[in-house]
Structure 1
Amino acid sequence: MTTSADELRSRLPDPTGLVPELTEIGPALFRATGNGSLPQPTISLVQLRAGQIVGSTYLTVLHSGNLRRAGESEERITAVASWRDAPYFTDAERVALALVDAVLIANPNGERVPDELYAEARRHYDEQALATLAMAIGQVCFFIPLALIGKPVPGAAPAEQWRK
């Protein structure tokens, strides 16, 4: 049995009403990642992958929708979950996805972001783009606790995603 969006309720009311500073932080993070040094589809792919890794339906629906609205194919969106063997990504996108995996998935055998991965990233991104990529991962990570703890309604408009 599936639950309709009307029946879902977030656990928290709108966090910006509880912590008004969020109204400044969110836009600042979007400005930082929107500096033009990194293609927007790469940012969205990375953020979708982060949502998948942490198991957040809200984030996966949000970032899948962003990619659809930007004209990305269903194949690319769906294949983010299995990006390593999917034929739909450029080498630069693959290294960006590898970085988000490295940052968010613990490596019991050593360093999270080994020198080899960093060197591969440097082959595809200049320093500003690489810093922006790190901030894009950080941007989605900033919102992960709210997505997991507050459970906003997936697919709902911003004004409707939080408990009233």
Structure 2
Amino acid sequence: MAADPGQLVPELAEVSAALFKVTGNHSVPRSTISLVQLRAGQIVGSTYLTVLHTGFLRKAGQSEERITSVVSWQDSPYFTEPERAALALTEAVLQPSTDGGERVSDTLYAQAAEHYEDKALATLMFAIGQVNFFIAVALIAKPVPGRSFTDPWN
């Protein structure tokens, strides 16, 4: 296990706080952002990220049905169309294209744009980027599940 990157590079706390501030601008519900980030953790196989974002969702009062069915969101009845659009964007960014085409097609972007205004789409993009930033930390440093750099629900 690698040393705690937060201890080695204390500036990480500032970066983390700034990213949570960007994604916490209220243009996208915090629960949607955590759903996106939970799905990202599932895709990359990070126990740390899945435990972290499951905890955030529970703390926010999300149902167990919603939390546990994020992995199968496409056929789950527990998600709104805007949440589905956000989860589809997450998968497009994090999973390789099976046909060699672009990951986020114009069609997928247009579908997301039906549910989110420009600022919200940008916020979703930053939320996916935020979790991508922490994927490397989670997979390399292997922090203990349940420990977070900062709590976005506060």
For this structure pair, what is the TM-score category when the shorter chain's length is used for normalisation?
over 0.9
Partner residue of 1:107? Answer: 97
Maintained 8 Å contact 2:41/2:50: yes
Percent of pairs with identical residues: 66
Q: Quote the Cα distance in structure 2 between the aligned partners of 1:157 and 1:141.
A: 15
TM-score, scaled relative to structure 1: 0.87
Shift of 1:156: 3.9
Matches within 5 A, 1:49-128: 49-109=39-99, 110-128=101-119
Task: Please state how far the C-alpha of 1:157 moved relative to its aligned partner.
Answer: 6.3
Instruction: Name the larger-Rg structure.
Output: 1
Which letter maps to 1:13? Answer: A
Q: Which runs of 5+ in 2 are unaligned?
A: 150-154
Unmatched 5+ stretches in structure 1: 1-10, 159-164
Instruction: Letter of the 2:96 partner, please give it.
Output: A
State which of 13, 19, 22 in structure 1 corresponds to 2:9.
19
Please point out which of 10, 20, 24 is paired with 1:30: 20
1:87 & 1:156 partners in 2: Cα distance? Answer: 31
Tell whether 2:130 aligns with 1:130: no
Write the distance in 2 (CA, Å) between the matches of 1:29 and 1:55: 22
